[in-house]
Amino acid sequence: MDHTHHHHDHEHHHDGEKGGDQHTHQHRLQGKFRFAVLLTTVVLVIEVVGGILSNSLALLSDAAHVFSDSLSLIMSWLAIYLSTRPATSSRTYGYHRTEVFAAFINGVSLIAISGWIFYEAVHRFMEPEPVKSREMLVVATIGFIANMVIVWLFHGEGHKSLNVRSAVLHVIGDALASVGVIVGGLIIYWTGWFIVDPILSCGIGLIILVGAFRVTKEAVHILLEASPKHADAHQVAACISAIESVKDVHDMHIWSLCSNYLALSTHVSLTEDASKSSHELRQEINDKLQTQFGIFHTTIQIEQFGCPHEGHLLCNAPHH
C-alpha cells in the first residue's frame, strides 16, 4: 500500500505568484486594504453623524451598509495576511479559518442591524418625520465618492483573487445604495415627501439582509466541513474514476479551510492491469483536481489491491 501527501504551496494558491514578486504583491495589496478600511471607517462616522443630524433613517441605513463593507474589507485583508502565516504544531492548517469565523459574526450582526432598520422604518411609515434633505444629499455624495475611490484603487486586482473581488462587489453595492439615498434626497428636497426616507431604508435594509443571509449561510457551510458547492464528492469521484488505471474511489472527504482554500483526502484503488505508476496516477489526479475544481491541497492513498471499503464513496464513521 502506497501513502502519499501531495502538498501545494498555500501562498501560490492564494495569489498565483512566487517568491519576491508574490511577497511584493501581497504587501502592496495589504496597503490598499489598509487605506480602504480607513476610508470606509471615516465615511461610516460621517454617515452616522450626518444621519443623526439630518434625521434621515435612509442615511443611517446606508451607514449600516458601510459598516458591512468595512467588515468585508477587514475580513479580506485578514485572509490575505493569515494566508502568509505558517502552520504550527497546535494549528496544523494555520489561521485560515479565522476569516470564516469573522464572516459568521459579520453576517449575524448585519441580520440584527437590518431588523432594527425595518423596525424604525415601520414607525416612520406610520408617523413620517421631517428630514433635512441638504445634509442628507451632501453626506450621501461623500459616501458615493469614497466608494468610487475604493473601486478605482482595486481596479485590476479582482481577476487574481475571488477574495478581493467579493470585497469590491460589497463596495459597489454600497455605492449603488448611496445613489439611491442621493435620489431620495433630491425627491425630498423638491417635493417634501418625507415618506421617501423610510421607503429607501427598507430597500437598503433588504439588500443588507440578503447579503448577510448569504454570508452567514456560507460561513456555516464551511464551519460544518461541508463540500464546496462546485466540488461535490460525486462529481469529483466521477472525474477521478474516468482516469485510466483507476478501479474505485472511496473514503473521500472534501472541505474548505476558508472561502478559497480547498482540501481533499481519498483512497484510490488501481485496476489489476494498471499501466501507470502510483506517481504518474497521483500527478494526473492532482492536475485534474486543480484545473477542474480548484483543489490544491490533497492527500491521496493509492491501493494496489482490493480494499474492503471499495464501493463506499463516503465514510460513515460512527460518532464516539
Task: Give the global pTM.
Answer: 0.69
CATH superfamily of 233-303: Cation efflux protein, cytoplasmic domain (3.30.70.1350)
d(CA 174, CA 180): 10
| Domain-wise residue ranges, the chain | 11-223, 233-303
pLDDT digits (tens, 9 = 90+) for 218-265: 888 888 888 888 888 889 999 998 888 888 898 899 998 877 788 999
Task: Tell me whether the CATH fold assigned to 11-223 matches the one assigned to 233-303.
Answer: no
| Helix residue ranges per DSSP H, 55-96 | 57-82
CA of residue 252 relative to chain centroid, distance: 25
Collect all residues with Cβ–Cβ distance below 8 Å to 213 and sequence separation of at least 6. Answer: 107, 111
209-219 in b/e form (b: 16+ CB < 10 A) is bebbeebbebb
Kindly list the distances between the CA atom of residue 72 and the CA atoms of 52, 76, 314, in Å, as whole numbers in the listed order.
24, 6, 35
User: How is domain 11-223 classified at the CATH fold level?
Assistant: Alpha-lytic protease prodomain-like (1.20.1510)
Angle, CA 23 vertex, CA 22 and CA 29 arms, to 5° = 85
Q: How is residue 301 annotated by DSSP?
A: E
- CA-closest candidate to residue 167, choices 149, 146, 145, 151: 151
Each residue's pLDDT, cut to its tens digit, for the chain (320 residues) gives: 444 444 333 333 443 444 456 567 677 878 888 899 999 999 999 999 999 999 998 888 888 888 878 887 887 787 777 767 787 888 887 777 777 887 788 788 888 888 888 988 898 888 888 888 888 889 999 989 998 998 888 877 655 555 676 677 778 777 888 888 898 889 988 998 888 889 988 988 888 888 888 888 888 888 888 888 888 888 999 999 888 888 889 889 999 887 778 899 999 988 877 777 888 889 999 999 999 998 988 999 888 765 655 656 776 666 55
